[in-house]
Amino acid sequence: MLHYDEYGSPNHPTILLLPGAGALDTFNQQYVFADSYHLLVLHLPGSGKASGVVYDPHKTTQELLELIQSLHQKVGVIGHSLGAQIAVRLVSEHPEFFHFAIFLSAWVKPNPQTIKGLCALAKISAKMLHWQGLVRLQGWYWHYTSQQARTMADDSKRISAEVYRSFFVHTLDLSSLPAYSTVNIPMLALCGSREIKAMKESLALLAENPHCRTIQLRGVNHDFPMRHAQTLNPLLRQFIAENLKLKI
């Protein structure tokens, strides 16, 4: 069973927040949306209470679908990085469960050589995640609270090389999801202009669905949800409000 943290009133529209790999509080700068929405922050494999769990995309997707069904309502979904890949899977398989979807830096065009290189670094990368001082410093850079940074450092100790490798071995290839092209819910995809070429190519692929609006944010890197909320949050608020027919 997937664990989740909850922000805001259950009486408000529910939005699932799917964080990036190993960073439960990816959306720490978006928790302010709890003033208008009911936010569920999922502990996905590799993060939070599931930080020691190897990522299996099919198992994770199924568990999320079961959670959504248990809510007995349509939801919105926002994912970043690995979480955005999962969000693409979810809406492609069951668009009827969603009001809208937002994909932040969804890598959906894997390059075999890049994947091979990242997997080769898994052992040393996982070891670095066990250096608590370094992880807490990363949290500070991402504007985490002291508690969020400490929690991430504690969680990261459970990320093994196998867990780290699973983030990349299972990178989503959009061509394996032909149903994506027929999804007709409102979708928004964003990435930063300073991200890798593959991320920008992925943005172009997502844009091939006419219901997916795409934006490339100037001058920002992969961590823009944490580092550039002043630019991102107004865009998210407007899109969500428009597609839930609410006042901004």
Could you give the 3-state DSSP secondary structure of residue 42? strand
Residue 105: how many CB atoms within 10 A of its CB?
28
210 lies in some domain = yes
Cβ(84)–Cβ(103) under 8 Å? yes
Q: In 3D, which of 30, 7, 14 has the Cα closest to residue 70?
A: 14
Q: Are 18 and 105 in contact (CB under 8 A)?
A: no
pLDDT per residue as tens digits for the range 92-107: 999 999 999 999 999 9
Q: Is 88 inside any structural domain?
A: yes
**97 lies in a domain?**
yes
Q: Is the dihedral of CA 225, 215, 94, 15 positive or negative?
A: positive
Residue among 188, 179, 225, 224 nearest 206 (CA): 188
| Residues spanned by the domain of 185 | 4-109+173-243
Q: Which residues contact 243 (CB under 8 A, 6 or more apart)?
A: 76, 99, 100, 186
Q: Which amino acid is at 56?
A: D
**How, if at all, do strands 4-7 and 38-42 pair?**
antiparallel
- 205 in any annotated domain: yes
Q: What's the token pair of residue 232?
A: 């991102």
CATH number of the domain where residue 9 is located: 3.40.50.1820
pLDDT digits 0-9 by tens, 177-231: 999 999 999 999 999 999 999 999 999 999 999 999 999 999 999 999 999 999 9
Domain total for the chain? 1
Residue 83 token pair:
């979480």
Exposed e or buried b per residue across 165-182, where buried means at least 16 C-beta atoms within 10 angstroms of its C-beta: bbbbbbbbebeebeebee
Q: What is the pLDDT of residue 244?
A: 87
Q: Is residue 126 part of a domain?
A: no
pLDDT beyond 90 at 1? no
Query: Is 165 within the bounds of a domain?
Result: no
Query: Within a domain: residue 129?
Result: no
Distance separating alpha carbons of residues 51 and 44, to the nearest angstrom: 8
- Per-residue pLDDT tens for 19-72? 999 999 999 999 999 999 999 999 999 999 999 999 999 999 999 999 999 999
The span from the CA of 222 to the CA of 230, in Å, is 15
Contact 76, 92 (CB under 8 A): no
pTM, to two decimals: 0.96
Domain-located, residue 239: yes
In angstroms, the CA 233 to CA 241 distance is 12
CA 175-177-180 angle, to 5 degrees, is: 105
The whole-number pLDDT of residue 247 equals: 42
